[in-house]
Every structure is written in C-alpha cells, then in structure tokens.
Chains A and B, each alone.
Chain A
Amino acid sequence: MTDGLLQFSIARRWLVMFLTLAAAAAGIWSYQRLPIDAVPDITNVQVQINTQAPGYSPLEVEQRITYVVETAIAGVPHLEYTRSLSRYGLSQVTVVFDDGTDIYFARNLVNERLQQAKGQLPANLEPTMGPIATGLGEIFLYTVHADDGARQPSGEPYDATALRTLQDWVIRPQLRQVPGVTEVNTIGGYERQFHVTPDPARLLAFGLTFDNIVQALERNNTSIGAGYIERNGEQYLIRSPGQVSDISAIERIIVAHRQGVPITIRDIADVGFGKQLRTGAATRDGKETVLGTAVMLIGENSRTVAKAVAAKLGEINATLPQGVRAEAVYDRTVLVEKTIGTVQTNLLEGAVLVVVVLLLMLGNVRAALLTAAVIPLSMLLLVTSMAQTRVSANLMSLGALDFGLIVDGAVIIVENCILRLSQAQHREGRLLALEERLRTVFAATREVFTPSLVSVLVVILVNLPILALTGVEGKMFRPMALTVIMALLAALVLSLTFVPAAVALGLTGKIEERENAIIRGARRAYLPVLDAALRFRTAFIVGAAVLVVACGWLAARLGSEFVPSLDEGDIAVQALRIPGTSLSQSLEMQLQIERSLADVPEVQTAFSRVGTAEVATDPMPPNIADGFIMFKDRAEWPDPHKSKELLLAQMRERLESLPGNAFEISQPIQLRFNELISGVRSDLGIKVNGDDLNRLLQTGNAIAGVLNGVPGAEGVKVEQIAGLPVLSVEANRAALYRYGLNVADVQDVLAAATGGEEAGQLFDGDQRFALVVRLPEHLRSDLRSLERLPVPLPQGGYVPLVEVATLNIAPGPNQISRENGKRRLVVSANVRGRDLGGFVADARKQIAAQVKLPPGYWLDYGGTFEQLESATQRLTVLVPVTLVLIFALLMMTFGSARDAALVFSGVPLALTGGVVFLWLRGIPLSITAGVGFITLSGVAVLTGVMMVAAIRDRLAGGAAIDDAIREGAMLRLRPILMVALVAALGFLPMALNTGTGAEVQRPLATVVIGGIISSTLLTLVVLPGLYRIAFRRPVSFVAAEVPR
C-alpha cells in the first residue's frame, strides 16, 4: 500500500502539492474555529439546579426543596450521581452525567424532570439551572466603581446600591448580549428596594397588622388593561394605570379607615430606599464594590469571548454617568495570550533551530527548506484534526509537541534521497533524467521509510496507556496524547506524500552531497570510538546496564507530582472563617485583608467575593471569601527577578498575621475547578449515608476513632455539619390556645418582621424594584425587641411574641449535604508511609469489626485511592500489553526477535539521560515528564531501527559482521545525529523558557533533551557492541528488504 502511495505521490507530484496546499488552507480555516484556552478543561458533565428560597433555613430547604428536586432527578439516563447541599436560602443540586454526555441533552432531561417537580415545591419557588459553563467559564471579571467626586442626579454620591443598580440595569443586560457569554453574574452592593417599615406601636394604635399593609400596597399598585372600545370607526385601547412610582405615592396609599379618617401608609410606617437581605458582597482594594463576572458558554473560544466582552465594556463605559466606570479586574485573554505566546515562542524558536540544523547538516538549502516546510504543514493538518475532534488547543495539548520529532521522518527521507541522488549522479557522471530521478527518489524513500513508520507507531503505542486514563487525569492528558498522535500521523502522511513529491520536484539540479565540517569532524571522532566500543563491548554493555539500574534507583528518589501546576500569574486566596460568621463581619475581615495587601508593591489590585453571588454558581456561605490578587507585570516589580515562591511566602506571612482567618492559596482557574469537581480530595473518604444528622455525626466520629488507630492514618477529619447559630422561635401551643392564635399567625408576624414580605414591585422604565414591608432595622436586629414583637390578636389587642413562643439560640446544621438522594457525612483521611491499598483494606476490616452502623445506614468508600486503584489496574494491564505490542511491531519489522530485542534495548538506555537531567535540574517526576519519556522512546526506536536496518543491509550484501557493523554505523551517523539534534534543539527553547506556562512544559523538554543525548550516545556506542555480541554466526538473508 505504501509503495502504491509513494509511487502515486511521485508520479502525480503536482496534484499532491495542490492537495497539500488545500489541506494547509483547511488548516488556516480550522484555526479560526479551534477552541483555545490556557489549560485543559477538567470539569465533568454537570448541571447545577439552584433554587433560591429566601428565608428558608437549611433544614427547611432540604425537606421542602432539595429532596423534591433530587427525587425528580433520580433515574435520569446517563446519570453518574447527584449531590446536593442545602443551605440558608439556597438549595443546590448538582447532577453529574457520564463523561461524553451532551450537555444540552443532559439539560433537557433535567429540565423535563424539573417540570414534574415544580408542582411539589412550595409556591413561588422556582428551580433554575446554572449557566451552561465549565470551570473555565469565568473569563472576565469587572468592578463597577465611582470616583469620589461623582454624584447621582439627586446630588448624592454613588453608594453600593446605586452602583448595583447601574450594574443590574445598564451593564449586565448589554454584556449578556455578547456572543459566547451565557451569564453575567453579580455580587456586591445592594439591590435597590423600597422599604415600608411600620412601627409596631403605631400598628397597635390603629389595630392594624403587617398583612393589612401588604394587602393595601398590593391593591394600590397595579396597572391593568381593559380591552378596547370602538368609537366612530376608531379603536380606543383602554388601560388604567395605577402603579405608584415614588416614595411619596407609596406614603399616600390608604390602609384603613377609622371613624371616617383615612389612615395612610405615612401614618403608620416610614417609607424609604432600603437594602436587601443579601447573601454575598464584593470588595476591591479595601472598599466595598460591585463585581460582575462574565461566564463563557461551554465550548467557546475564551480569548474571543473575553475580548468581545472587553470591547463591549468599553462601549458601555462611554454611556455610564460621569465618574462611574466598569473596570476589568480579571481578563482571561491575558493568561491565554501569555501561555499561547509561550507555546508559540517555544515552537517558533524550536522550528528555527531545526531549520538551522537541517541547513548545516544537509548542506542543501532546497532540501532543508522543504524538510522545514513539513513543520507548518503538519501543524496545519493537526489544527484541522483538532478542530474536528474538538480537542482544545492549550498549554497541555500543544506543549508536548516537538517539531524535531515531527520532522524526523522527513529528515531521514530527504537525507537518504540526497545521498542516493548524489550517488546516482556520481555513478552516471551527469544529471539524472526525470525518469531516473523519480525512480531514485522512490527507492531512497522506500529504503528508509520503515524506521520512521516504526518510530511513529511506537510513539502511538506508548501513548495508549495515557489514552486509557479516566477522570480528571484523563481530561488533562488525553488531549495531550491525542495531539501528539495526530501530529505524528500528519507528519507521517506528509512524509509519504508531500516529501517525496517535493523532493521529486525540488531536487532537480546537481546534487552534491557535501560533507560539511561538522559531519566530517563527527565521523573522524566517531571512528575510534566505534572501534573501542566494538573491542570492549562487554565492558560498555555492563556499564550501560549499571547505568540503567542506577537511573531506576535515581528515578524512584526523584519525588513525584501529578502534573506541574500551571502558574496562572495571579493567585486566589480563599479566606475561611468559622461557620456562623455574619456577612458584614466576614466583609469587614476581608476588607482588613485587602488593606493589609495594599502596600505590597507587586500587587496591582485585589478583589474578593464574600458569600454567594446572585446566580449561585459557587454557593459559598458568608464565612468564606474568594479573594483574587492580581500582580503587576514583572517589569514593574521592584525586583523583577523575585521568585513567585518568595512573593507567596511573604504574602502568606502578611495574611497569617491577621487574626480570625484561615487561608487556602491557589489560583483563579484552579480554585474554580476545585469548586466544580469537588469530590473527596483526600486519599480515603468514607461516606456515611443515613437520615439523622446526629447519628451520622456519632457514626462519623466512631469511624474517625477507628481510623486514627489504623497505622499510616494521618489528618483524619470528620466533616463539619453543625455550627450555625440558629435562633428558633418555637410557638407555645398552650399559650396560643389561650389567645386564640394559630401557629401560622405567629410565624407570619415573625417572617414579615425579620425577613420582610414582598408587596409588589415599582417600575422605572425597564428597571423594577421590590417593595418590601419589614420591621425597622433597629428592632429587627435586637433580640430583646424581637421578644416584645407584638402579635395581633383576633379580637383586637396584642400579645408579645415571647408570651406565645420560646426563643432560643442553639447551634443548628450549617449545611446539609446529600449524595444520591441520601444525607451523608464524609470522614476523610490521608495515608503516610504505607501503601494505600493495604491501608484501605485494613481500615475496611477494622471499621466493619468495630463500628456498628444503625439500621438503614451504610458506608461508601471513595477518595483518590479509588482513582489510583483503577488507574493502577488499567496500567498494570496496559503497560505490558504496550510493551508486547512494541516488541511485536519490531519483530514484524525485522522478522527477527533478536534484532527487535536489540532495538528495544535502546529504550531503557534512552530513558537514563532523561532521569539524570531531571535530577540535575531538580524537577520531580510527573505525567508531563512521562510524556517526555514516551517521546523519547519513539526517538530511541527510530535511531535503533535505522542503525540495525543499515547493519542488516550490509550483512545481507555479504559483508563480514565487523565490517557490516562499522559501515552501517558510519553510514547512519549523519541521520542519527540529525534526528537527535533536531529533536533535542526543537525542545531547547521549551526547556529554557521562563514565561507563563513554561513550568508545565519544562519537565517534558528536559527529559527529551537529556534522553536524546544518552539515547544517541548509546545507539552509536552500545548498540554496535550489543549487535556484535548477539551476532553468533553469519546469517544469510534472503533479501535485504525489510519485511512489513
């Protein structure tokens, strides 16, 4: 087949060139559609269902809402699991679907089930689905800010309420129109509300209740349409406007008549602008602010969307009142451009180095250029296939690319073509005729095609275990493996089609195989080394074996991390306070934090979210704040070379000095991922499922006790479920009976008094503001006043609340977590100095023996050990299978187990250099380093196959073994050196770069460079000796041709 393809490419070379151009054009077109982001998206397929239930306590939320929603969702197709949390005023059910489920399909299913559930939910509660976004969705954050001198039309300065109103009614509606934006979330400030705050004493005086006021307001604030009438052929529409529009109109609403005297709102209540009972706040640089977040639709291009948002914000700014500005504080474009810039620089510099090497080594400009052309062409093909397979371009996926590796196949082919063409010209003593030239190109390509095919296949095979990773690891590394595979396949196709066609077209003139000084020097140096290697072969081989063992030992001591985390540049500081901390206290503490950071010279701006935003994508209680700290450009730092670690340590020290906060420092995207995935992040998580919170806690504590006794356990923690101070007002039924009251009468008074009761809306153009009846602030917040809250009696008069109800403050459930429809509590533990599997087995046994579960309660074992177990299982099967497959491939290539084994031996030898280089640079082992080793094994196999094939050719030609080895080695010195040089130099910029994102690529590049040095040396020195040892008697080959 390959022969046919080769012949076709050479015969129809113009067509091939045209097709190549067309493919390139397709690549450019696809580039516009390629999703580009900084990091791979590791979010699972999930749908959040948020139900806002103002005033509901966690227990009521769980009972009335969460349970209903969960029950409705249960059994949806492709469901992986549901989890939920019930918190003050919010129920959030997260429905996680199997990976690969279409998100719109999933949302449809959820929506359908929600429709069924709605009937069972309390009136006025509306479950909504979260934005169609992933962890990478929060691409653009801005604050709305007013200058000190700016004044509202009323002459007052802009306060948090005024800014929030601008955000809600001017900025947000416009930003939501930007294509690719699925949601604009707001936190901070206060929604403008009109508050009617009746004085209880005056209500009593008039014998009125909260309800009377609410009804009066509702009945005096509506506009209606009343059809139309016809008159003299004309049609008149009829409407009756009755809405109130301002405070004085509200004040004039009549509530009741007493002896002919109308009693208006004004007589019994104060009316004014009020503040909502908010669940979240935002701060920036030590001041309260309004923070907007543009959330990107799933699968959009973050750079494009963020840019569009920024542009739109610029337009909006021009229309905002004098002195008010919306200022971007976080723009994903910056990070994406920095990382993509890093990748681009690395690739570009690598490409230049590769071209230079080609020029130097081939000594033929045309040949070098056409080889180099493979780089952009295979890139464009790769882009097309990535766009088709929806593999996103990011640091990870593009980071593993090495142009050296990509052009390796082409290098070998072009090198051999030049060699053969010049030899033929020499032989004939003239320029070749077209026919001869084409034949020579065909023969030369065929001769060396096998090694490049084999090396590509080897790399693909070695990537297989990575493709088998699942979960977060899979999402992170599969695109990387896929990209490498696709790029290599593209290069392979090109070297079968474009390269021979281009060679046939381009290398027309006189081809002088110029041995330049480098190659000549290399040959001169190599000859004695080769002789020595053959003579002292046993010593060399033992040395190599020792090296492998030593490196194995070294590798085990390198330390490991899963993936080097991308330095996003900016950091996220999550501040945690004890449960029950109020929003205003939490806000005050957050302001202290920001003020303390104000004089850090590296900090550009700091802003935070405290509590939950309007759309509860991240349902944080008020005691938690997500702080974001944006740094200036390094150039503006007092010391541009200060390391990030040092800076972080200094910041941490500063933060720790503020009492009352615990901190977790991470990075914006990382933080968001953690929030969304939010599984159990410790080694072992034991989930106790059951009904009663107290029994769950008891069981959890018992399990924690047992776990603490299991050797190897560390940091055993029981999930915090209590700790929220709850004021419960329990109606005293005997007292109610005496007064002729119902429980609801008491509850209504309480709810209206503290929570407030909504009594319609006020409209101002598009803007609409709630009209709320609530107790005056000074009475609401004072417990003693609350006790004396008058409850109106049916027969007139009143009774103070405390007479008919018991008020007590006790810690209640902070939040209630459920999973798969049952309450659950997590006991987590980490493992030190012991293998995880053994620990888990031990823990299971001891818990089963010592902890008695109440009936109807059960345990689930989870945690990272689960993923590790499945990954280990997968890999213990796949790694040997891969090795067998590689060996089989080599066997097929050579038709000889011995030769295959010889080539195979190059792989561990190649790895040694990688290990040594990692150790030298102090980089731990990681998956990215692992990808480097994979790349390396491909290169090692490539050089090995070339060398062995050349030697076999000589043997088949009847040469003596020593001569065959020597000649073969000398012949392949140039291609081997070239392959090694391009591969190593191609990665050099990546290894040395310090830009954003470089830390992810560095291990990979380091491994490849180190490994290629060792691999090349060993191929050139150890392989010939090994071949000599393995060779016992002259074998006669039927044909020099390598079977396929």
Chain B
Amino acid sequence: MKTHSLSIIACLLVLAACGKDDAPQSHAEEHAAEPARTGDGHIELSTEQIAAAGIEIVHAGAANIRETLPLYGVITPNAERMREVIARYPGVIRDVTKQVGDTVRQGERLATVESDESLETYSVVAPIAGVVTARNANPGEQTADKVLFTVADLSSVWVELSLFPRDLAKVRVGQQVRVANADAGIAAAGKITYVAPVGTAASQTLAARVLLENAERRWAPGLYVTAEVVLSEVRVNVAVRNAAIQTLDGRTVVFVRTDDGFQARPIRVGRMDSEQSEVVEGLSADDAYVAGNSFILKAELGKGEAEHGHD
C-alpha cells in the first residue's frame, strides 16, 4: 500500500516538476539557432546572399582627395580698385553728370565745379574706369572737403571671410577658394590673397580675403556667400568611399571581399573629404571592398549582442 501512495506522490511530483526543464530548453534552442560566427571578423556569405542584402562591392584605387574648409563671407568692393573723388579746389557744384550706377571711363567728367578762389569752372573726373557707387554732390552745393563721388572698379571684388581660431593654421595665402551663392545660383573660384595679421577681439576672428574676378558684375558687394577653402588636394594611391568605413570594437575597419565572404580589415585613415578617405594602412589598391550597405556586415558580426531589451 505504501508503495502505491509513494508512487502517486512520485507521479504528482513529476508533474509538479514539469516546469523545471522548460526555460532551459527554450534557451538551449536559442543558442542552437545562433549562427556560427568566427571571432576574427570573418563572415561567410554566398553570392546570392550578397545580392539579396544589397551589398555593393567596388575596388579600392587612387583618388584625388580635396580637403576643404567651409566658411561664410560677404562680398565687398575691391578696396584697391576704389576711388573717392574730392573736388580739388573747393567751390560750388554747377553741374553733375553722373548718377549712382553709371559706368564711367577713366577721365570721364563726373561734375563741374566753380572754384571759390578762381571762380573758374573745372571738371571733376573719374580717376579710374568703373561704376559710380556713391554720389554726394548736387548742383548748387558747396564741395567743402566732402567726398563727392565714389567710383569702384567692380571687375574684381573681394570676399571677406572670417577665420576662427581653429581654422587659422589651415588657411594660407594662395589657397584655392570656391565661392558660391545658392540663392543667386552663382559660383566662382578665387584665391586667398590676404590673411589679416590682426584679429578682432569681439568676434575672435581674423579676416581673410579672396580676390574674385567679376567681369560680368554678378557679385554685388554686400552679398553673403559661402566659401570653401581647398586646404589640400592630393592624389592618394588608396582611397575608399566614406560609406565603407565602420567602427568595430573601437577600430576603424572596411570589409574586404574574400573568396567565401568578407573580412573586416582594420585600416588607418589619412586625409578625407566629403566623399572619399585615404587609407594609409591596411588596404592595398585593387582590393575589393564593400562600399554600399556595409552596416549589414557590421550587424552580422554583432548580431549575437542583439537582444530584446525588455527584461
């Protein structure tokens, strides 16, 4: 009899213990399902898988890397090509022939002034060819010492750029600059002609100047522009697209195509611009690397870490 009740207890206890193995089992399955990955950053993928995952493979090669520095600036007239015209002998302005905006030749008459001393009239002429940008003279007025006209030669203009302390070391006279105004849809290239030796305390900046050809008069002084200073332009032997570069465990890597898949290859990046990066170490020219959708490979390597953060 006793054996019977014992066996009942045994049976019920077996039932009671049913739950015991449940959780471990499901976890064991999880483990079994995890794909085998090797720890050295190698991933096996078939050609079909690569196509399905949208992985783009290209060859590393030589490229021009343009390092640039974007700056904001404003167009100002070329101060060297600007003249302020004052009446040589003070007197009364009898006649004014040019208005603001008029183009004048060198020596062309701007106004006629009657000298106070000689009471003779004489012509005030444009010292250079250019455009009248300011006129402060009307018939009947006294010239006194005031500037009657400003004539500017706008065939070239300056772009005044503000250099911040961080950029100072990079910018030198002679560097190429691309100047653009997106609103007006214009762009042009110029060179840095001057970097101010003295800074402004209030804005903590130094002025840099770009000389811009303006034969067509598109660059109106006062306009705000964006400028990109080309800091360096070098031809490098090995470059990869920026989209190829991933960080893996704190190292910078690109994924290189191998016979059966990909290998994460640590690299050292040199110069870079907005599209490409120079590879100083770790990759040779003609190596096939993943340029597009490289994140998928990083994800594949790290997928063991992926877990639902609910608990």
Contact = CB atoms under 8 A, between A and B. Distances in A.
Given A662-B304, A830-B27, A925-B18, A883 B204 contact: no
B52 A592 contact: yes
Contact of B23 (A579, A739, A830, A876): A830
Interface string B1-22: 1011101111111111111111
A826 B311 CA distance: 8
A872 B14 CA distance: 11
Interface stretch (A152-160, A544-552, A950-958): A544-552
Contacts of B302: 578
Interface string B42-65: 010110110011100000000000
B183 A555 contact: no
Nearest to A576: B306
A560 B203 contact: no
Interface in B243-282: 274
B62 to A, nearest CB: 23
A908 B7 contact: yes
Interface in A747-803: 782, 784-785, 788, 790, 793, 795, 797-800, 802-803
Interface string A473-493: 100000000000000000000
B13 A875 contact: yes
Contacts of B4: 548, 904-905, 907-908
Contact of A578 (B23, B224, B298, B310): B298
B296 A660 contact: yes
A875 B9 CA distance: 10
B35 A656 contact: yes
A842 interface: no
B203 A797 contact: yes
A868 B19 contact: yes
A216 B30 CA distance: 57
Contacts of A656: 33, 35
A561 B18 contact: yes
A624 B306 CA distance: 8
A549 B7 contact: yes
B34 A662 contact: yes
Contacts of A123: none
B304 A562 contact: no
A666 B49 CA distance: 25
A705 to B, nearest CB: 18
B224 A201 contact: yes
B161 interface: no
Contact of B202 (A576, A795, A817): A795
B38 interface: no
A797 B162 contact: yes
A201 B297 contact: no
B300 A659 contact: yes
A720 B1 contact: no
A678 B299 contact: no
A926 B311 contact: no
A905 B1 CA distance: 7
Contact of A204 (B224, B293, B299): B224
B143 to A, nearest CB: 28
A445 to B, nearest CB: 31
Contact of A589 (B24, B43, B299, B308): B299
Interface size bucket, B side? 35 or more
B40 interface: no
A864 interface: yes
Which of B35, B74, B307 lies at the interface centre, i.e. has the most chain A CB atoms within 10 A of its CB?
Answer: B307
Contacts of B303: 576-578, 660-662
B122 interface: no
B311 A659 contact: no
Contacts of A581: 295, 299
Interface string A714-754: 11000110010000000000000011000000000000000
Contact of A911 (B11, B46, B204): B11
A556 B11 CA distance: 9
Interface string A65-102: 00000000000000000000101000000000000000
Contacts of B165: 803
Contacts of A678: 310-311
A793 B302 CA distance: 44
B308 A624 contact: yes
A656 B30 CA distance: 13
Contacts of B218: none
B19 A577 contact: no
Contact of A658 (B26, B53, B182, B297): B53
B12 A660 contact: no
A852 interface: no
B89 interface: no
A555 B14 contact: yes
Interface secondary structure of B, over-half rule? helix
A574 interface: yes
Given A204-B72, A875-B13, A927-B18, A659 B43 contact: yes
Given A560-B20, A867-B19, A908 B52 contact: no
B140 interface: no
Contact of A815 (B70, B296, B297, B309): B309
Contact of A659 (B8, B225, B297, B307): B297
A1012 to B, nearest CB: 16
Contacts of B120: none
A926 B34 CA distance: 27
B305 A579 contact: yes
A788 B21 contact: no
A681 interface: yes
Nearest to A867: B19
A802 B274 CA distance: 17
Given A659-B45, A659-B300, A879-B16, A561 B305 contact: no
B20 A465 contact: no
Contact of B306 (A662, A803, A875): A662
A720 B309 contact: yes
Contacts of B20: 560, 836, 868
B25 interface: yes
A621 B309 contact: yes
Contact of B203 (A204, A589, A799): A799
A788 B296 CA distance: 30
Given A577-B303, A664-B30, A901-B1, 12 more contacts: A199-B182, A201-B226, A473-B19, A562-B18, A578-B299, A578-B302, A660-B297, A715-B28, A799-B204, A883-B5, A925-B15, A930-B18
Interface of A: 85, 87, 199, 201-202, 204-205, 465, 473, 545, 548-549, 552, 555-556, 559-562, 574, 576-579, 581, 585, 588-589, 592, 595-596, 620-621, 623-624, 652, 656-664, 674-675, 678-683, 685, 714-715, 719-720, 723, 738-739, 782, 784-785, 788, 790, 793, 795, 797-800, 802-803, 814-815, 817, 826, 830-832, 836, 864, 867-868, 871-872, 875-876, 879-880, 883, 887, 901, 904-905, 907-908, 911, 925-927, 929-930, 933
21 contacts: A85-B309, A204-B72, A555-B14, A559-B21, A560-B17, A659-B49, A681-B311, A683-B24, A715-B28, A720-B309, A738-B204, A793-B203, A797-B202, A797-B203, A798-B72, A830-B27, A879-B9, A883-B9, A911-B11, A925-B15, A930-B15
